[in-house]
Amino acid sequence: MSMHLKPHRSSLVLLLIITLSITAAIWFTGTPKPVAALHRNDLFAEGASAALVLCWYLLVLAARPRGRVTTLLGVGLGSLFVGMWTDALDELVTLPATTGWTDWLEPSASLLGLLTITAGIYLWHREQLALNHLLRTRESGVRDHFQLDGLVPMHRAAYFREQAVDLVAQQRRAGAPCALIAVDMVGFHAINARHGFDEGDRVLNRVGQLLALNLRPTDLVCRDAGDRFSVLLPATDQAMGEALAAELREAIEATPGYTAAGERLSLQVRTAVHMVPAGNDSASIVNAIAAMHRRSAATIRP
């Protein structure tokens, strides 16, 4: 588990500092209770509850990449742990009557934790819906088109173009613009050269999953070739396309991976956004998309 917690070291250190600071403040400003005055059942229940919440915190961080959902769940569980830990310390230490900061710290931290966990679970639910949509699309592709990429959880470029023709035509009839994002990995050949092609394949698979999780259900995505991905965004203008491209770039670069040997792999991508020009027939749409793929590659590659 320790290897999976490496991307979250700053969060772990912050929670440790907060916990130690609260513990030291309570211990040195209060008076330890004699053993005879301890309520053992309360102490055990509150201490065990805090320990379980801490376990949940570590398991969530170990199981998830960095991102908005992980941040909300981490802050929520960390705050809940702080509230429960403060409550458990009250069973061990008697504080002066003039010291009332623990009276508001415990309920405030617990309430903040519950609210933040709720928001994180809601966004996690949205994330799972997006993933389920991707899986349903993948199953449909297996049955009907046999156009799935053999490496990443998305369709091949040929199927992408086929579906893009219909989608762009629909958007044109509705008077809505379409944007295309080209996503190009930086230094991918160096990963293959240093760590081997199996490790490179795992990197591509992880990038494909991150793209799928951070796109809207209506968007089309494929691995266009090698380390390059293409995304078609219906009902999207240039400004929206630029914003979505920035979100995709941040999601990938903020989620480092680790090799089988435990070496950290920091990823970097470049993106280019182009508007799909108007076309009167399917052939012109296909030609326009293919031309933009070539233009995007020339734009984002050094």
Q: For 213-236, what is each residue's pLDDT tens digit?
A: 888 888 888 887 778 888 888 999
The pTM is what?
Answer: 0.52
Q: For 79-112, what is each residue's pLDDT tens digit?
A: 999 999 988 888 888 877 666 677 788 889 999 9
List of domains in the chain: 2-128 (no CATH), 149-300 (3.30.70.270)
Beta bridge partners of 93: 32
Q: At what angle do helices 9-29 and 68-90 cross, to 10 degrees?
A: 20
| Ranges of H-type helices in 145-268 | 157-173, 188-195, 197-213, 238-253
The confidence score (pLDDT) of residue 297 equals: 57
pLDDT averaged over every residue in the chain: 80
Residue 27 has pLDDT above 60, yes or no: yes
Q: Tokens representing 94? A: 């008697």
